[in-house]
């Protein structure tokens, strides 16, 4: 059995693997024709999700606008649907705030290899606790400063690498509830 397994390639550099796989997927005309969002797992396999509903989009837009109005534009930018290479594959983060410096340092082949300073996930009905906890761990492992989780009711939970915060340290005047 060990000779069989020894013949399989190893992933020596997860970012290089993720970028190569993402490059393949991003030019696939069949995948481009689907009405689904995709991410990859650490093995490069496709994880498909239905497009978010209008309520999700409304919350995502509200978070985007509030964050854009509260963070210094000369230092960074807010972006939706941001692809980040992690040890668990390429993940599409709902909303991020990223400094210009991190974009310069981490952007490779249209994917970030360093997580943005603020990574925000807006929960969808299909999300599970384990999935969101894994994404939070992956984002911190990739260098995120904070991860925010927005419930379907618009309640925002702020986290740093140590645990939950009562408010964001990076954007202290961001509200704990968002609406539309």
Structural domains of the chain, ranges and CATH numbers in brackets: 52-165 (3.90.1570.10)
Confidence grade of residue 5 (pLDDT, cut at 50, 70, 90): low
Burial 9-48 (b: 16+ CB within 10 A, else e): eeeeeebebbbebbeebeeeeeeeeeeeebbbeeebeebe
**Percent of the chain scoring above 90 in pLDDT:** 84
Q: What is the DSSP letter of 88?
A: T
Q: Is the pLDDT of residue 1 over 90?
A: no
Confidence grade of residue 35 (pLDDT, cut at 50, 70, 90): confident
**pTM score, two decimals?**
0.92
When mean pLDDT is compared across 34-38, 59-63, 146-150, the lowest value belongs to 34-38
Place of tokens 């230092």: 75
Are 39 and 47 in contact, with CB atoms under 8 Å apart?
A: yes
pLDDT at 2: 67
Give the pLDDT mean for 142-170: 97
Are 131 and 139 in contact, with CB atoms under 8 Å apart?
A: no
Question: What gap in Å lies between CA 77 and CA 96, rounded to an integer?
Answer: 8
Are 47 and 41 in contact, with CB atoms under 8 Å apart?
A: yes
Share the mean pLDDT of the chain.
Answer: 93
More confident residue, 26 or 6: 26
pLDDT at 88: 96
Place of tokens 């906890």: 133
Q: Is the pLDDT of residue 121 over 60?
A: yes
Confidence grade of residue 159 (pLDDT, cut at 50, 70, 90): very high
Instruction: Give strand pairing partners of 85.
Output: 90
Q: Which two tokens stand for residue 22?
A: 């993402």
Q: Is the pLDDT of residue 52 over 90?
A: no
pLDDT at 57: 93
Residue-wise pLDDT for 92-108, tens only, equals: 999 999 999 999 999 99
pLDDT at 176: 97
Sheet containing strand 146-150, strands side by side: 107-108, 111-112, 76-86, 89-99, 118-122, 146-150, 156-159, 164-165
List of residues 6+ apart from 53 with CB closer than 8 A: 124
CA 1 to chain CA centroid, Å, is 38
- Rg (C-alpha) for the chain, rounded Å, is 17
Question: What gap in Å lies between CA 63 and CA 74, rounded to an integer?
Answer: 19
pLDDT at 146: 98
């Amino acid at each position: 059995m060990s000779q069989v397994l020894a013949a399989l390639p190893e992933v020596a550099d997860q970012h290089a693997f993720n970028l190569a796989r993402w490059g393949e997927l991003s030019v696939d005309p069949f995948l481009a024709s689907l009405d689904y969002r995709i991410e990859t797992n650490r093995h490069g396999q496709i994880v498909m999700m239905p497009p978010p509903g209008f309520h999700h989009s409304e919350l995502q837009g509200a978070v985007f606008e509030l964050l854009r109005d509260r963070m210094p534009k000369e230092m960074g930018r807010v972006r939706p649907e941001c692809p980040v290479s992690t040890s668990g594959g390429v993940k599409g983060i709902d909303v991020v705030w990223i400094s210009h410096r991190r974009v310069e340092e981490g952007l490779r082949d249209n994917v970030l290899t360093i997580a943005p300073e603020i990574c925000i996930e807006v929960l969808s009905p299909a999300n599970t606790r384990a999935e969101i906890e894994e994404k939070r761990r992956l984002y911190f492992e990739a260098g995120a400063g904070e991860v925010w989780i927005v419930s379907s009711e618009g309640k925002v939970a702020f986290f740093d690498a140590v645990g939950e915060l009562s408010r964001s340290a990076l954007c202290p005047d961001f509200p704990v509830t968002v609406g539309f």
